[in-house]
Amino acid sequence: MRTDLHRHPTSPLTAVRNLGILAHVDAGKTTVTERILYVTGTTHKRGEVHDGTTVTDFDPQERDRGITIFAAAASCAWDGHRINLIDTPGHVDFADEVERSLRVLDGAIAVFDAVAGVEPQSESVWRQADRHGVPRIAFVNKLDRAGADLDAAVESIRRRLHPAPLVVQMPIGAEGDFTGVVDLLRMRSLIWADGIDSAEEGPIPTTLREEALRRRRLLEEAVAELHPSALEEFCAASALGERTLARALRDLTRTGDGLVVLCGSAYRNRGVEPLLDAVVAYLPSPLDVPAVRGGADGAEQERAADPAAPFAALAFKVQAGATGRLTYLRVYSGTLRKGETVLDAGAGRAERVARILRVRADRHTELELAVAGDIVAVVGPKATRPGSTLCAPGAPLVLEAPTVAEPVVSVA
């Protein structure tokens, strides 16, 4: 369902997902991002990575190098939710930037290559996300490739990253014949016909029934083992209902005790819509994550994700381009209004916020205000750097100790 939430900065916080995509270089992060923007109606053309038209990789240098350098943020809407996609650099050379983008996310999709499984760099990004306590779901991509093997990829995840992968889909067809999945929660099949973006939903093909039931049973048993209240229901009825299963998967995702695994082929746009459904169902909103902490007058202070609290935001990206100097903010508390003067807490300098923008890939929407939990870009601050806190002048707070000065990236 496509909805335009972009003009409504005060849409309920529970309907916001600040999301990152974590992956080894080449696993398909750019393609997944691109398809998310496409299926949510944010972009209407299909950008292909290899022809340099992708929307998130908009820096010429980045296109040339074929890697995602900048943590640009793009906003899209899905099923009544606003999804702010924060592009985390997948390259080890940008470790500081990865750290900073991990800090502003509330949840992430970890993308794996169905042929390669877990690769060394996926492990290092995974550990970084662990340190930041980022709840994740996994997407095993490239199921259309020769040699793709979901079970082997899941086994490598179990061995190297997470002891409790919870596979919620079963692929239909393999490699070039990969055409769909069985949704193991709803026990329905989703088939993508050639040239069609949305899956046709239907009953499970008879030949796959037995295998689907076996996998559903494995999923139920794994969930019951990890989740106390699901276990009670499982023991009482020796099966789990769809709602109990979904609730348990949400809880396990948010505590990190289980890892929901989905699969598909981003390149062929297969599996991206169910992936967005899983983002909405399982990953947390800004209200579901612990309140942010920062330093104020030498003491530590907590700031709730409350629009009525004093304003505090972290600048996590600064880009100089055609729109002027664009500072990307994660607003943690309070409300920022267009035209307001705020304090750059680390530098002790006042900065005026002339414009607030919702960045939608290649377009911007002007906002009057931005509230706690949101991700926006602002125009006006002249010297704010990545890592700076912007806050209400009357309630100073430093969210992140200043790190090594990071260059302002030029995209013009």
End-to-end CA gap in the chain: 35
3-state secondary structure 330-392: EEEECEEECCCEEEECCCCEEEECCEEEEEECCEEEEECEEECCCEEEEECCCCCCCCCEEEC
CB of 114 to ligand GDP, least distance (A): 8
- Using the rule CB under 6 A, which residue among 44, 50, 297, 401 binds ligand GDP? 50
Structure tokens at 164: 């409790």
33: burial class by Cβ within 10 Å (0-12, 13-18, 19+)? buried
Pairing, β 81-86 against β 73-78: antiparallel
Return the number of the residue (49 or 161) whose C-beta is nearest ligand GDP. 49
| DSSP-assigned beta bridge partners for residue 318 | 327
Using CB under 6 A as the binding rule, whether residue 94 contacts ligand GDP is answered as no
Nearer to ligand GDP, 144 or 273 (CB): 144
CB proximity list for 115: less than 8 A, separation 6 or greater: 142, 145, 146, 147, 148, 149
Residues annotated within a binding site? 23-30, 87-91, 141-144
Q: Is residue 98 close enough to count as binding ligand GDP by CB under 6 A?
A: no
What is the nearest approach in angstroms of ligand GDP to the Cβ of residue 202? 23
Of 38 and 234, which CB lies nearer to ligand GDP in the complex structure?
A: 38
Instruction: Choose between 6 and 35: whose C-beta lies nearer to ligand GDP.
Output: 35
Q: Could you say whether residue 144 binds ligand GDP (CB under 6 A)?
A: yes
- Give 157 or 345: the residue with its C-beta nearer to ligand GDP: 157
Give the C-alpha distances (Å, rounded to integers) separating 311 from 339, 342, 378, 389, 397.
14, 9, 14, 10, 9
Q: Which of 89, 90, 387, 396 binds ligand GDP (CB under 6 A)?
A: 90
Binding of ligand GDP at residue 150 (CB under 6 A)? no
Choosing from 42, 88, 122, 141, the residue that interacts with ligand GDP (CB under 6 A) is 141
The stretch near ligand GDP (CB under 6 A) out of 9-17, 28-36, 79-87, 301-309 is 28-36
Query: At a CB cut-off of 8 Å and minimum separation 6, what does 292 contact?
Result: 302, 303, 305, 312, 332, 333, 399
Question: Radius of gyration of the chain from Cα atoms?
Answer: 21
**Minimum distance from CB of 365 to ligand GDP (Å)?**
26
Q: Which of 15, 19, 20, 31 binds ligand GDP (CB under 6 A)?
A: 31
Whichever of 145 and 325 has its CB closer to ligand GDP, that residue is 145
Residue 142 interacting with ligand GDP (CB under 6 A): yes
What's the closest the beta carbon of residue 24 comes to ligand GDP, in angstroms?
A: 7
Binding mask 325-364 for ligand GDP (x = CB under 6 A): ----------------------------------------
Give the whole-angstrom CA distance, residue 197 versus residue 274.
12
Piece of 151-159, 215-223, 263-271, 351-359 that binds ligand GDP (CB under 6 A): 263-271
Rounded CA separation 260/275 (Å): 10
Residue placing its CB nearer to ligand GDP in the complex, 62 or 374? 62
Q: Measuring CA to CA, which residue among 262, 245, 286 is closest to residue 84?
A: 286
Q: Does residue 43 belong to the site contacting ligand GDP (CB under 6 A)?
A: no
Backbone angles phi, psi at 395, to 5 degrees: -140, 70
Q: What share of the chain is helix, strand, coil (3-state, %, to 5)?
A: 30, 30, 40
Q: Which segment (2-10, 98-106, 136-144, 390-398) binds ligand GDP by CB under 6 A?
A: 136-144
For residue 317, the one-letter residue type is: K
Binding residues for ligand GDP, per CB under 6 A? Answer: 23, 25-31, 49-50, 68, 90, 141-142, 144-145, 265-267
